[in-house]
Copies of this chain bind each other. A is one copy, B any other.
């Protein structure tokens, strides 16, 4: 289990992506994004993606040295065609543009289509929150794999939703989750460990509940979180990240992700200081709640990520041997030396 210094891992990721064809800017943006995901403990969206992205580039599904293009623009709206480039580059650009428009007029909303995998989407609304705005991002996931409430077919994606709001500290409160009960990546990890799934996660190909993660890859489907309520939230993601972005819906969707990124400038509604004081009071109340049986504390969204970041910034990032070996193989092909690890 190698443990690596984050800056060393970032430099290596950048080199590997550049060797595979990415421009300097693309490589830097994606490398910073992936390593931040690992720092935050979201390993399913970290450097584990390097071989996948390189494979997509090699097979022409993802383009390098390309730029997202604004194809329609209004005062507070814009439509971006990512031209099948890295999703992290296009999503970051969309959020920056939404923030610029919000700073000027109060709200900005920008869509992205023809877009690669946007990665750990919690990264984007936090950009707005750090500038005293509320960030909300809806990301259509290509799917298929998720069933509608009450159905056996699986035309939907895990379509996640994420938001962030500023607090009195420099750590915004943020949430980032799939509208299915679990991401596909988490189920894959549990399968690789020989684990069983909790109840109400998965259906097999006949639409029967199962605790066997392998059933997903034999025609099964993931359930929506919170039954019909998570189903409805997922359909909102279909509407905003899919139909409004121009990427399409359900399994008739083009690209890996479709995005609707929105920034809301707080000062256009209430004084920022009042807003932050209210959010801080809310957080204090939540943390002060005595825990339920089976819990040791009440957390607020973002806590798990910030805690892991503090730990990993100091101790380094652990990458498991299987993943490390896959990354080595991808890097070897491009003659990029693997970084030293501390054991």
Contact A297 B243, beta carbon cutoff 8 Å: no
**B290–A238 touching, CB < 8 Å:** no
Shortest Cβ distance from A295 into B: residue: B150
Interface 0/1 of A150-163, CB less than 8 Å to B: 11110100000001
Whole-angstrom CA separation of A236 from B279 in the bound complex:
10
For A275, the chain B residues whose CB sits under 8 A away are: 243-244
| 8 Å CB contact of A233 from B106, B233, B270 | B233
The answer for the CA separation of A230 and B264 in the assembled complex, in Å, is 22
Determine which of B239, B250, B264 lies in contact with A165 in the assembled complex, contact meaning CB atoms within 8 Å.
B239
A82 surroundings in chain B (CB, below 8 A): none
Hey, which chain B residues are within 8 Å of A151, CB to CB? 286, 289-292, 295, 298
Q: A155-B285, A279-B249, A282-B243 are in contact. Are A299 and B75 (CB under 8 A)?
A: no
Q: Would you give the shortest CB distance from A82 to chain B, in whole angstroms?
A: 15
Task: With a 10 A CB-CB cut-off, give which of A77, A266, A295 has the most chain B CB atoms.
Answer: A77
Interchain nearest-CB distance for A171 vs B (Å): 15
A223-267 residues with Cβ-Cβ distance < 8 A to B are 225-233, 235-236, 238-240, 242-246, 248-252, 262, 264, 266
**Could you give, for residues 35-64 of chain A, a 1 whenever the CB lies within 8 Å of some chain B CB and a 0 otherwise?**
000000000000000000000000000000
Taking CB atoms, residues of chain B closer than 8 Å to A282 are 235, 238, 242-243, 249-250
Q: How far is the CB of A17 from chain B (nearest CB, A)?
A: 31
A300 interfacial by beta-carbon distance below 8 Å: yes
| Contact flags A176-215 to B (C-beta < 8 A → 1, else 0) | 0100010000000000000000000001000110000000
A274 CB contacts on chain B under 8 angstroms = 243, 246
Question: What is the distance, in angstroms, from A113's C-beta to the closest C-beta of chain B?
Answer: 9
A75 contacts which chain B residues (CB < 8 A)?
75, 105-106
Does any Cβ of B come within 8 Å of A111's Cβ? yes
A268 within 8 A of B: yes
A77-B269 CB under 8 A given contacts A207-B292, A230-B226, A289-B147: yes
- Chain A residues packing against B (C-beta within 8 Å): 72, 74-77, 79, 105-109, 111, 134, 136, 147-153, 155, 163, 165, 173, 175, 177, 181, 203, 207-208, 225-233, 235-236, 238-240, 242-246, 248-252, 262, 264, 266, 268-270, 274-275, 278-279, 281-282, 285-286, 288-293, 295, 297-301
